[in-house]
Amino acid sequence: MKFFIDTANLDQIREANELGVLDGVTTNPSLMAKEGIKGEENCKKHYVEICKIVNGDVSAEVIATDYEGMIKEGEELAALHPNIVVKVPCIADGIRAIKYFTGKGIRTNCTLVFSPGQALLAAKAGATYVSPFVGRLDDIASDGVELVVKIVDMYGYYGFKTQVLAASIRSTQHIIQCMEAGADVATCPLAAIKGLLKHPLTDSGLAKFLEDYQKVNS
């Protein structure tokens, strides 16, 4: 399973990249706003800065919700850097736009997916990635991981090449569950990725090794 970090914070992206396990980055307008990045040109410059840090796919989201607007923005984003993947919402014009981008060789990430039907349409349109939102489904007492399972099974049955990118990951446990569900990618906060390192037996075992070393080397 590939790891993407879900942030626009350059320091966090650098830290995750230095860990040696980062495969890409996802962003969205909310994450850009959180970092205080305003204006179209500033956002574009920020995407380029991210691409300079990470040797992997970087999802950059269109703001337009109409077909013509998404095409215009998507082509501009794709031209910024070869690693840019155009992130498009799962709405009717978004599916149309994904089909267009697929024909032009522009890679896409269909975002805000909450049902197998939406994932089916995205795959048929040729999306590179489809992003089911695990945490947001959990927030309304639905089962986000179960949606990942259904999409993985459907894509496997029909032979779709679209990769399942589990999004809205809230915890380390979510990562483990999405791994078990067969997701191709999990995009996560840095804390959730680092949480995979934590285990009390690792800590106690290391402490014991160091204690024994000191006994014979002090």
- pLDDT per residue as tens, the chain (218 positions): 999 999 999 999 999 999 999 999 999 888 999 999 999 999 999 999 999 999 999 999 999 999 999 999 999 999 999 999 999 999 999 999 999 999 999 999 999 999 999 999 999 999 999 999 999 999 999 999 999 999 999 999 999 999 999 999 999 999 999 999 999 999 999 999 999 999 999 999 999 999 999 999 97
Rounded Cα distance, 38 and 73, in Å: 16
Q: Give the per-residue pLDDT at 157.
A: 98
Q: How many domains does the chain have?
A: 1
Which domain, by its residues, includes 65?
2-217
Rounded Cα distance, 211 and 216, in Å: 9
| CA pseudo-torsion sign 103, 69, 165, 42 | positive
Q: Where are the beta strands (DSSP E) in 44-183?
A: 57-61, 84-89, 108-113, 129-132, 163-166
Q: Give the per-residue pLDDT at 78.
A: 98
Helix axes 92-103, 116-124, angle to 10 degrees: 30
Q: Give the per-residue pLDDT at 218.
A: 79
Catalytic residue selected from 87, 124, 161, 208:
87
Retrieve residue 36's tokens.
């205080």
Rounded Cα distance, 171 and 191, in Å: 8
Q: Give the per-residue pLDDT at 28.
A: 87
87 catalytic residue (yes or no): yes
Find the CATH number of the domain harbouring 8: 3.20.20.70
